[in-house]
Chains A and B, each alone.
Chain A
Amino acid sequence: DAKTTQPNSMESNEEEPVHLPCNHSTISGTDYIHWYRQLPSQGPEYVIHGLTSNVNNRMASLAIAEDRKSSTLILHRATLRDAAVYYCIHPNTSGTYKYIFGTGTRLKVLA
């Protein structure tokens, strides 16, 4: 099963950028990198995904290393509402379609 490694927790000041790292050394060439976040007492929600190139959307940016063994989710200006657990996954969609989540990174945003 696809495994990722993320720091257990990170802190950021409000209105500052946040870089959340993820290692995925077992990723295959066709696996997309997905990021989800889970706000307190809610189910996870999609944030962003990418394959090889860096990606931007209204929520965040995703920077993918050239060898694809790591990626970084970038929140450009953290707000208190961004306090959540962030999960990085890379489901094997050429095989089982299992979506395995790890423990994620708990982001604390300080006012």
Chain B
Amino acid sequence: NAGVTQTPKFRILKIGQSMTLQCAQDMNHNYMYWYRQDPGMGLKLIYYSVGAGITDKGEVPNGYNVSRSTTEDFPLRLELAAPSQTSVYFCASKTGGDFGELFFGEGSRLTVL
């Protein structure tokens, strides 16, 4: 039981490049989330999904896209990378219902130069 797995752990991009951050969970959780965390700051919600085929914007969605074709996977796509997207990205998942503990991945550190 691996929990929430994020790949890659580290990546350096050049301005204008694109990439996809992968997130997979093996807990059969319906709800999945993507956050970014800038140095010394709190977590900002980028996108979230309440089930396969359903996604919605969070606080800071601009510059990102997501898809949720399966329950297990929730990839985050960065198009035309910018230095402002340099951050640590965390993926999380939870069960449904009024309460469900959020399980976080270890994070993906992205640097855009």
**Residues of A near any B CB (own CB < 8 A):** 1, 30, 32, 34, 36, 42-46, 49, 85, 87, 93-94, 96-104
Contacts and interface: CB of A to CB of B under 8 A. Distances in A.
A43 B58 CA distance: 19
A100 B106 contact: no
A98 to B, nearest CB: 6
Contact of B42 (A34, A49, A104): A104
A45 B33 CA distance: 14
Contacts of B103: 46
Interface string B11-23: 0000000000000
Contact of A100 (B45, B97, B98): B45
A44 B50 contact: no
A75 B34 CA distance: 29
Q: How large is the interface on B (under 10, 10 to 19, 20 to 34, 35 or more residues)?
A: 20 to 34
B106 A42 contact: yes
A49 B100 CA distance: 10
B35 interface: yes
B37 to A, nearest CB: 9
Given A43-B90, A101-B35, A101-B42, 13 more contacts: A43-B92, A43-B105, A44-B92, A44-B104, A45-B104, A96-B56, A97-B31, A97-B50, A99-B33, A99-B45, A99-B94, A100-B59, A101-B45
